Structure 1
Amino acid sequence: MATNTLPDQTDETATRGSDSGETNFNETFLRVLSPLSSLRLTVVLFAMAIFIILAGTLAQVNKDIWVVIDEYFRTGIAKIEFKIFFPPSFFPNLDQQNIPGFIYFPGGWLIGFLMGLNLFAAHLIRFKVQAKGKQRTIGWTIIAAGSLVTWLVIISGANKDGFQGYSLLSWQALWWLLEAGVGVATVAGCVLFFYIDKHRRAERGLILGITILLGCLLAWFISQGQAARFSDASMRI
């Protein structure tokens, strides 16, 4: 059977159609995510988070902290009564219990979910990974080290019930680690100062200033000895 279409042309047409369909899908996906990556949405969510934290703090005047956590933060929608904004300490002559009205407001779970979605969309659309090779490896290494340190801080602190317990490291050991961290940061600053190109004066000046401050802090720690050591309560924080 005769045909005017060559096999190569048919394959090329199919490939173009496939690429066009994939491109249209990507454009549609990015168009849907674009409003979610908005900086205005970020600002609004931060404002909502600040408000729900304020409301939860004021609500603790009349309610136990764990009740407030469940009603304001571990929920999708929180019921906020107007009377919590008139605490007796600020309005001693006002009968707080007779103030009517309430509003429903996004709770901690909903705000947190939207914040995560906003951050995810922003990373997909607005933020582009520019580091390559060695720089990217160093970046991932620093992130992994930071995650490890965060995990160590969590497991070495008080237990999950909120009662102060014995940590895996003593306060003196934590103080030594703090001094060691300042020392390592000082040395790293010196190395980075000489590693950066001399024409990048702003970066070199900033690093030099920070390194000098860290060096002075380390020298003060060493010269003062135990007198410079933070109290146990400060170390816990």
Structure 2
Amino acid sequence: MLTKKIFAIIVSFCFLTMAASTVLAAPSLNGPTGMIHTPTADVPQAFSAGIYHLDEAKTGTLNMTLLPRLEVGATRWNPDLGDDTTAFHAKWGFMPETAMTPGLAVGVEDIGDEYERSPYIVASKALPLGFRVHAGTGGGRFKDKVFASLETTINPVGVVTGDSVFPATTLIAEYDGEDTNFAVRLSILPGLKAEAGWRGLDDSSYYGLSFTY
């Protein structure tokens, strides 16, 4: 009986984490729905958009889900030096995440090879105690590399203190194959998130807003 109760608690944690991460999903800096510089197996139901300010550039992303679990999108880069560049990407979540198995997705960043065309495969899985892990590999910027990230959502249902509500906040740690990055993703309103972080690349920071539906 005790074993069954422990198993039920673990499964409940997994479902809670899956629900929270779906709500807090957002475009990555490179475009596809993901963490900081890496994609996840998540595919929002309709669309997601984000605008970010980096030390060396500004970037805006728009993603649309045209078919079930097929995300397509474009990212517009506005470097401080050089011309504006648009990079297209696509991701197919061919295996949805369950309480017992990871979600799996394949995709391509920068389909037109403006910077570096990068196909990838990535897995995402909720863990007990509110954690969720993502890991993948591929070609292009991911060639001969493994990327991984860990996220945890603080207060997925909200903590009421007096008349105020502390919003759901996701803490992110990521290794993108070359550098380690960290970020905080704060849910302001349903679907609307503020994000700020630090990137190991050139020891630089970023911040921005995103909306996911």
Largest Rg, 1 or 2: 1
Larger fraction in strand: 2
Task: Decide: shared fold, TM above 0.5.
Answer: no
TM-score bucket (shorter structure): under 0.3
Taking structure 2 as the reference length, the TM-score comes to 0.23
Bigger proportion of residues as helix: 1
